[in-house]
Structure 1
Amino acid sequence: MSNQVSDRLKQNALRIMQIWEKRARDLVGASIHHESLVLQNSLPLYLNQLVDELSTEIDRTAARIETDRVESIRIGKQHGRERAGYADYSISELIFEYHILRQVIFEVLEEEAPLEVRERDIIINSIEQVVNDAATQFSQTLRDIQELFMVTLTHDLRGSINTIKLGTQLILRRLERGDSHVEVAARMISAIDRMDSMIQNLLDASRLRAGQSLKLEFAECDLDRLIQDLVEDLRFTYGERFIIVSDSPVRIYCSHKEIRRVIENLAINAVKYGTPNTPITLAIEQTKTHINLTVHNEGNPIAPDAQSILFQQFRRTISANEQTGWGLGLFLAKRITEAHQGTIEVESTEAKGTSFIIKLPKVPFKGH
């Protein structure tokens, strides 16, 4: 079998890249912002790889086929990674570049004679595979860049928020009781805390999407005391609506900060979506094996179809769209509860109102 196509491709590789670059600059909007060598990226390496794939002189052993496959993947990923680093490139433009390259390869190689079916199939399959590898890496790199941006931004925001909070707390301490500005300062601190909570939610969601686990510090915890302290803070902001029901002291092994965060999220949701001025109940019940914590509010029930998406990140029910937030609270509540080997579920009907039930194992959990 002739090796002419492989040789022609090798001899015309530079010309192919020159034609490709001219067309790319005409047809791919993002390309006009980049110099020639940067624009060509790893594509000359890909052409060298294609030369080997088309060659009839190379012994196509299983080892050689695997080596070529790995190298092709590496080159495709390199192209996708570098393109993702340019803010003006989209994944559709990345794919279009390869379509242009395939078109130019066929035109140049068929100037002397039509390609055989085998040769066309090799080129088409090779292009399709490298497009897939490049697009996959482009998406992954873009996610990594976005995650880094998110973490950096939220870190910087928290620094500024902490400064504002400390200053506001200092002002609050210096105000006399009964001063009309006390309530204003207190509300400012409450708003700052909500902002800080939203930022923490973004950070944690970012870690979970990146495949990392939440950083939890476990210790013995007085659940009654935790809830009493939380309710005192909630009453300061939302009024005397909260009722605690607990028949005996409850001690568990948990991450104090994160369990408080879960309960606070459920209680604030009860304020947002429950009927105004009706009681919100936080009830603790113990069984032989579990501790059940229920946060209940009166009001319109959550529709069954909406209940199925409650614990998904960035998903919000129709009623929730009228409220501020990013749809991360319940997602993180579920993940935190699961990190304690527990479960969280919802029961919601017109007659009984809405209850979120957290079930935690009674046996101390020694994780993390």
Structure 2
Amino acid sequence: MNANLTGHLSPIDPDLSPVTRAMVALRTPLIEAWMEEVRGHVPQAKELALPILENTIPAYFDTLAALLTPGHSARVVTDLGAVASEHGGERARMTMYDATAVIHEMQIFRDVLFRELEHHGVALEDTQRATLSAHIDATIRESANAFIVVQAALREQFVASMAHDLRTPLSTAQMAAEMIGHTSGDATVRRYAEKIVASTQRMDGMTRELLNGIAFCKTGPVRLTLAQMDMVELVREVAQSAEIFHPVEVDIGPEAVEGWWCREAVQRTIENLVNNAIKYGARDAAIRLVVSTTVERVQVMVHNQGAPIAPEDSESIFQLYRRAGNQGLGEGWGVGLPYVRRVAEAHGGSVLMSSSAEDGTAFVIDLPIDARPFAGAPTAA
């Protein structure tokens, strides 16, 4: 159930085809081989921290492998697009990549995938190879598009911030010029002072127009207070509080998952997702919380059964003051899911979403285990 979104499909799952199981069994060595080649061939990746380089690739790999199980649901294809978009978005926020680097690393992924499968004796039929190639091509397009969109959003935020900050020195210069004009007895000085006032007023008007023309989020950056904590303990705490209102199943191993995160912000994000699952999910089905880990990253999944979120709403639900149109929500503004994304991104992570009638709805918060090097990362949400 949505295990592909966390990169945790099982190589012994009987519901998966033999070729999917064989691919999943090679997940770790294949991803390691990919990371090594990316570091060697993509200059911007050479010094990337491991959890940032790894990104959402485990989830992407598992979702790609699931395509080779006959009868897979349309959800898996949708998932692939969502993971590809998050990959490109995280590259825009967390690296010095350009679009060419995003494309190059996914081309390397394709080469490594087919090479390693052949090296380990995993034989692909021509149709299976064609399926993987076609979806990797689609991934390259979607990742590059997401990279460009997020990069443009970050540029808008930067320009808007600069325009806002410019207004203070402009105002100071204008007041000083007005004072000179009022106090000077020299006609020439007064004339130049009037020119300065007129120019600063014009510049102030231009910055106001720029600010009005940019859709700039006024909520400001997410402020994080990072401390060492146990994600398992936090998820259990949230689950216990939610059980008062709705049945909750917790799928967590006995071991703690220690890391550096902002406890208050992460708790609020998980609570937001759980509250949404209670509000919009099926009343007769338990909510499921799952904690898992990949290399230097942790995933927290919140899953519920119920009416699915339409594919066309998969992005708008994360936008400030917008809600999905098929959930029976009516008019209103929503800030919960945008906050979830902002918190994940500010930790250097991502949020993945998958929804279908047969498999329900799952949100996955995917964060670096140690968010300290990435705290305060730019957020496009």
What TM-score, normalized by structure 1, do the two folds share? 0.51
Partner of 2:41: 27
Q: Which 4+ stretches in 1 moved above 2 angstroms?
A: 2-5, 193-207
Deviation of 1:146 (Å): 0.6
Report what 1:202 is aligned to.
Answer: 210
> 1:146-167 CA deviation, whole Å, 9 max, x = no partner?
1110110000001210111012
Q: Give the whole-Å Cα distance in 2 for the aligned partners of 1:55 and 1:16.
A: 19
- Per the alignment, residue 230 of structure 2 pairs with none
TM-aligned CA deviation for residue 79 of structure 1: 0.4
Q: Supply the distance in 1 between the matched residues of 2:132 and 2:78 (Cα, whole angstroms).
A: 17
Counterpart for residue 225 of structure 2: none
Q: Superposition pairs for residues 16-55 of structure 1, below 5 Å? A: 16-55=30-69
Higher relative contact order (Cα pairs below 8 Å, separated by 6+ residues): 2
The residue number in structure 2 matching 1:73 is 81
What CA RMSD, in Å, does the superposition of the two structures yield over aligned residues? 1.9
Out of 180, 183, 201, the residue aligned to residue 171 of structure 1 is 180
1:8 is aligned, of 19, 22, 26, to 22
Which residue is 2:164 aligned to?
155
Percent identity between the two aligned chains = 22
SS in 1 for 2:46: helix
Q: 1:146, 1:185 → 2: CA distance? A: 35
Contact 2:19/2:122 (<8 A) preserved: no
Q: Which of the pair has more CA radius of gyration?
A: 1
Compute the displacement of 1:95 (Å).
0.9
Alpha carbons 1:80, 1:136 under 8 Å: kept:
yes
**One-letter identity of the residue aligned with 1:96:** H
Conservation of the 8 A alpha-carbon contact between 1:154 and 1:203: yes
Is the aligned partner of 1:106 residue 2:120? Answer: no
Q: Secondary structure of the residue that 2:67 maps to in structure 1?
A: helix
How far the C-alpha of 1:145 sits from its partner, in A, is 0.4
Q: Is the 8 A contact 2:55 2:87 kept in 1?
A: yes
Structure 1 residue 76 displacement after superposition: 0.8
Tell me the residue number matched to 2:271.
none
Matches of 2:188 and 2:95 in 1, distance apart? 50
Corresponding residue for residue 242 of structure 1: none
1:48 counterpart letter in structure 2: D
Partner SS for 2:164: helix
Say if 1:9 and 1:87 are closer, same or farther in 2 by CA, change over 3 A.
Answer: closer
Give the aligned residue type for 1:92: T
Work out the CA distance in 1 between the residues paired with 2:95 and 2:81: 23
Give the unaligned 5+ runs of structure 2: 1-15, 217-381
SS of residue matched to 1:88: coil
| Contact 2:22–2:122 (8 Å) recurs in 1 | no
The answer as to whether partners of 2:91 and 2:102 remain within 8 angstroms in 1 is yes
**Match for residue 373 of structure 2?**
none
Contact 1:5 1:109 in 2 (8 A): no
Aligned to 2:263: none
Instruction: Give the superposition deviation at 1:201.
Output: 4.1
Shift of 1:43: 0.7
> Equivalent residue of 1:123, what SS?
helix
The AA in structure 2 aligned to 1:172 is: G
Q: Which amino acid aligns with 1:104?
A: V
| Paired positions, count | 200
**Distance in 2 between residues matched to 1:75 and 1:40, nearest whole Å:** 13
CA contact (8 A) 2:67 2:77 kept: no
Q: How far is 1:133 from its partner? A: 1.8
> Equivalents in 1 of 2:76, 2:155: separation in Å?
32
